[in-house]
Structure 1
Amino acid sequence: MTHVPLPAHAPLELEHFLPYRLSILSNTVSQGIADEYQSRFQLSMTEWRVMTVLARFPASSATQVVERTRMDKVAVSRAVARLVEAGRVDRDTYDGDKRRSVLKLSEAGWAIHDEVAPMAREHERELLEKLSDDEKLWLGRILDKLLS
């Protein structure tokens, strides 16, 4: 087999480049449900993701939200500020230490979460219906392996 050298400025074939394809898939899947909660609750995708982390892991710090989501620190900070200002998230100090704050969903935040979460689960169910049971199992395994 002969090796054909690539030109000096060979562009990536994005349609075959895994990171790009995963990004497109993630954006497409996320936007499908985001349109609904953005119009109904004026909630950004980043704000919703922060809220889902706080629902699952109450009393988290903003740093812990960043670690769990791998989202940009500044984007999370801005989302938290908007959520606190909107009364959707409460910010308290950790053991009275003003340098360490913990975040939790407020009653208003829980009300939104409890409306959006079932919509998100339904969206996921519809998406996964396109796969066979074996494909769903393998998808989970592959995602776990790539994320580890």
Structure 2
Amino acid sequence: MKNKTTEFSFILKPSTHGVGVFATHDIKKDTHLRLFGDNETLDLRSLFRKKEEVPEFFRDYCMDRDDKLICPKDFGQMHVGWYLNHSKNSNTYPDKDYKWYAARNIKEGEEITINYNLLAEPENNKPDYY
């Protein structure tokens, strides 16, 4: 098991939910997961967009904040972290800056998931599957 993740630690592959993020090697519990490139602390203020500016199809890749969305900076070059699928029994957890860590040992080939309920979206904006 590795204690570090790099740009070679994750790959996008087909998943039961469309596309998912999968580990390319074993990862130890509490390891920081490099899911958003080298600049891990996302400046969420710079990612806010008005809903009407974002085409409907792209909104699935955004976090809902009532009349605004938190979106990738460039939908044509999205970090793997934007492809994380939801699980109530996720294998990750965030810190206060939304840096993600392994909640338990993760095996090579296992899908990396997050609990969307931890994203602090307003309750009235959460889809039924949360």
| TM-score bracket for the superposition, by shorter chain length | under 0.3
TM-score, normalised to structure 2's length?
0.24
TM-score, normalised to structure 1's length?
0.22
Q: Which has the higher helix share?
A: 1
